[in-house]
Each structure stands twice: as C-alpha cells, then as structure tokens.
Amino acid sequence: MCGPDCQGLNTEFGHSMQECAILASCEVDRHLTQDLKAQYSAIVPLRCLLLKHHKPNKWKLLCTMESHNEVRRKLPNIWQNNQSSVVDRIRELWGVRQYSEEEIHTVCGVLEVNAFEVGQHGVSVRALYPTAFYLAHSCVPNTSHTDDDNYKLTVRCSSQIKKGDTITLSYAYTLQGTLKRREHLKESKFFDCCCPRCKDPTELATYAGALKCPKCDAGYVISSEPLERAASWRCSQCSNYTVTAHSVMLLLEKIADEVEALDANDIEAMESFLQKYRNVLHPNHYHCLGVKHSLSQLYGKIQGYMINELPDKLLHRKRDVCRELLRVINVLEPGYSRLRGIVPR
Ligand SMILES: [Zn+2]
Ligand SMILES: [Zn+2]
Ligand SMILES: [Zn+2]
C-alpha cells in the first residue's frame, strides 16, 4: 500500500498525492484488496478526473477528445458495465461525489475511444497522448507506431504521405476481413469505417475476405456492398451464385473455431488446414494468411524443422509462404510495418 516510501508517489507515471488523499479518506483499503484488476478499471478514470482540479490544462485537452456518449449510451454492454465497474465504484463505493455520473461516463468514453494500449515486458496500460489522438483510423494506414520503456509513443510514416493527405493509423488487425474489422471498430471505437480497403469488396484486389465460388472454377465470392453488413455475397465471375451475409458469417465463425483449435506448433495440422479449405477460401483469405503467418515463423525454428535440417522441398515451402504473405502485406500494410518486419524475406 502507499506510504512515504511509495515508488509511484508524485512520479510522472505513478500517482498523485490527491489520488492517495481521496482513496485514504474514503477508507478504501478493505475494498482495494479485492479484485485488483477491477479497481484499476476505475483508478484510471479517477486519475483523469483529478486533472480537472490539479492539472487544468491537461483536463482541457482531455475535454477536446471524442467520447461518443450518444452512441455508447445505447450499448448496454458498454454503458451498464461502466456504470457498475467505474461510476458506482467511484461515487458509491469510494464515496467520491464531486464528479457527476455523466462526467465519469465521458471520461470512460474518452479512454475507450482515444487511449493507446502501451507498455513493455508484459505490462499493459491505457494511455492518452496529447497529439496522437488526432490521427484518423484507416485499415490501410500510412503510419505505424511503437512505444518504449518510458511510455513514449513514436509515430513513423510507413509510406509516402503527400501534402494534404490524411495521416492515419490502424486500430484494426491487418490480417482480418472487412466484416470482422468493421465489427471490431464499431464495437470498440464506435464508428463505421469507410476507408479505401473497407469500401472495396476485393479489399484492394487482395481478396483477403473472399470465398471460392462452388459453381464455377474461376470466380470468387465477395460482398455485393461491403459497407452494408447484411448485403448478400456474389460470385465475381458467374451470375449463378449468391449467398446471404449471415451464411458467410456462420461459415467464417466455424472456420475461426478450427483455426483457434490448431496447436500453435503443429506444422502438419496447419498444412492440412490449408489443404482442407483450398476449395472454399481464396488463398489470400485472412484465415489462410493467419495460418501462413504462423508457418512462416515455424519452418526453420521448431524441433524437427530446424533450418539446418530442412530438406529443399520444405525450404521452398517456407520461401513460398513468406512470398505469398508479403505480396498481401505490401498492399494492406505498405512500407515499414511490424508485420512486414517479422516475415523473413
Ligand atoms: Zn503510492
Ligand atoms: Zn477500414
Ligand atoms: Zn462463380
């Protein structure tokens, strides 16, 4: 517990005297020992609220950040959860009454929408940055970012940005299809992404979400209107084949479960997965890309497949898997990117 020797007291990344004073005066000790993680989900918003009196300039900046209260209020999962785990905890359990319910919800929203998850060596914290929050999202971003031991965030342009272009970063996972990415962005960041990748049913000609047409040899089944979640999917070649978005989602969920169940070190199981779905999924489908990404790491690194003992056939397989991945990454995460950096060339 906190005391004069506390290493976090009055440090930039620790906590303030005021925070201690509040928690000490409301006799919170007996509650603090329960479920520490849940306590921290309320301590971060409390730290933000304390800025109002003790760091008014930071508070002013925080108030310019988007909270999407109107959208979040209609989402019981989000709003009710914040009400019980943050608002009621701060106001009822800790007895801190100087902040209104609305104000606390706003701070929760500001954190959900704008915070970056940073931290090294197994530490994961939510942090707000005074300029990085201006960056817009795109599923084909032109920047990438890293953080260091001092929580300093470095944003680098990953491809050429022309004067007047929007500077963007991605909150979504690159190796995922449009349906999934847009669902994630809607649920966690509360907006409908309409970036060039999301708008294009072929995902910039990568076909990263496409299925193979069961009616013809050459066609791929893609959404007829990718910005409409419920729009039907159609074959790009023949006019014979249409399927509902619902069926596509069910199929993808089922395959996702299978991918999930794959042993993370089982090369043979991964290769048979790719074989099994070769007539169902486009070779660039994100489920295939995910598995190929694992294979690119495993070939040459695990027991029985060490690089010095790989026969030519498997060396070529490693090379081909890496090339197939890079062809897609070059389009979806162009320039310098973490994903590109870890695929051997
Ligand atoms: Zn302390
Ligand atoms: Zn997008
Ligand atoms: Zn077809």
The string of pLDDT tens digits covering residues 212-246 is: 999 998 899 999 999 999 999 999 999 779 999 99
Whole-angstrom distance, CA of residue 214 vs CA of residue 74? 40
Q: Is the pLDDT of residue 132 over 80?
A: yes
Centroid of ligand 3 to alpha carbon of 324 (angstroms): 24
* 6 in any annotated domain: no
Per the model's pLDDT, the better-predicted residue between 21 and 276 turns out to be: 276
Centroid of ligand 2 to alpha carbon of 229 (angstroms): 13
Closest listed ligand to the CA of 233: 3
Centroid of ligand 2 to alpha carbon of 58 (angstroms): 31
Same domain, 116 and 183: no
Give the pLDDT score at 13. Answer: 73
Give the pLDDT score at 275. Answer: 98
ipTM: 0.85
Closest listed ligand to the CA of 169: 2
Same domain, 207 and 99: no
Give the pLDDT score at 27. Answer: 59
What six digits make up the tokens of 151?
């929580």
Centroid of ligand 3 to alpha carbon of 218 (angstroms): 7
Centroid of ligand 1 to alpha carbon of 8 (angstroms): 5
Centroid of ligand 3 to alpha carbon of 272 (angstroms): 25
Cβ proximity of 158 and 335 under 8 Å: yes
Centroid of ligand 1 to alpha carbon of 129 (angstroms): 23
Same domain, 246 and 121: no
Please provide the distance, in angstroms rounded to a whole number, between the alpha carbons at the two ends of the chain: 50
Give the pLDDT score at 33. Answer: 57
Residue count of the chain: 345
Among 127, 148, 165, the domain-final residue is 127
Closest listed ligand to the CA of 210: 3
Among 127, 143, 166, the domain-final residue is 127
Same domain, 109 and 256: no
Centroid of ligand 3 to alpha carbon of 315 (angstroms): 35
* 263 in any annotated domain: yes
Share of the chain above pLDDT 90, in %: 76
Q: Mind listing the pLDDT tens digit for each residue in 326-335? A: 999 999 998 8
Per the model's pLDDT, the better-predicted residue between 110 and 40 turns out to be: 110
Q: Categorize the per-residue pLDDT at 122 as very low, low, confident or very high, splitting at 50, 70 and 90.
A: confident
Domain total in the chain: 2
Q: Which residue's entry shows tokens 């409301």?
A: 26
**Residue 233, SS3?**
strand
Give the pLDDT score at 253. Answer: 96
Amino acid identity for residue 326 in this structure: L
Centroid of ligand 1 to alpha carbon of 17 (angstroms): 8
Closest listed ligand to the CA of 4: 1
How distant, in Å, are the alpha carbons of 71, 78, 79, 86, 189 from that of 74?
Answer: 6, 9, 7, 17, 14
* 303 in any annotated domain: yes
* 98 in any annotated domain: yes
Same domain, 109 and 186: no
Closest listed ligand to the CA of 170: 2
Give the pLDDT score at 345. Answer: 59
Among 63, 94, 127, the domain-final residue is 127
Q: Mind listing the pLDDT tens digit for each residue in 296-307? A: 999 999 999 999
Handedness of CA 258, 261, 264, 269 (dihedral sign): negative
Centroid of ligand 2 to alpha carbon of 195 (angstroms): 4
Q: Mind listing the pLDDT tens digit for each residue in 21-60? A: 777 776 555 555 566 777 788 999 999 999 998 899 999 9
* 152 in any annotated domain: no
Residue range 145-161: average pLDDT? 92
Centroid of ligand 2 to alpha carbon of 172 (angstroms): 8
Closest listed ligand to the CA of 221: 3
Give the pLDDT score at 184. Answer: 94
Q: Which residue range is the domain that position 34 belongs to?
A: 17-127
Same domain, 329 and 211: yes
* 190 in any annotated domain: yes
Same domain, 188 and 335: yes
Same domain, 56 and 188: no
Q: What angle do CA 152, 154, 156 make, to 5 degrees?
A: 180
Closest listed ligand to the CA of 43: 1
Centroid of ligand 3 to alpha carbon of 201 (angstroms): 15
DSSP state letters, 291-317:
HHHHHHHHTBTSTT-BGGG--HHHHHH
Whole-angstrom distance, CA of residue 304 vs CA of residue 319? 18
Same domain, 106 and 203: no
Cβ proximity of 40 and 48 under 8 Å: no
Centroid of ligand 3 to alpha carbon of 290 (angstroms): 25
Closest listed ligand to the CA of 332: 2
Closest listed ligand to the CA of 193: 2
Whole-angstrom distance, CA of residue 204 vs CA of residue 11? 47
Q: Is 110 exposed, middle or buried (0-12, 13-18, 19+ CB in 10 A)?
A: buried
Centroid of ligand 1 to alpha carbon of 52 (angstroms): 20
**Residue 168, SS3?**
strand
**Residue 254, SS3?**
helix
Centroid of ligand 3 to alpha carbon of 210 (angstroms): 12
Same domain, 121 and 199: no
Cβ burial 202-222 (10 Å sphere, 16+ → b, else e) = bbbebbbbbbbbeeeeebbbb
Q: Which residue's entry shows tokens 């070059």?
A: 330
Residue range 156-178: average pLDDT? 93
* 97 in any annotated domain: yes
> Any idea which of 26-40, 154-168, 247-261, 268-282 has the lowest mean pLDDT?
26-40
Same domain, 188 and 300: yes
Same domain, 117 and 192: no
Closest listed ligand to the CA of 192: 2
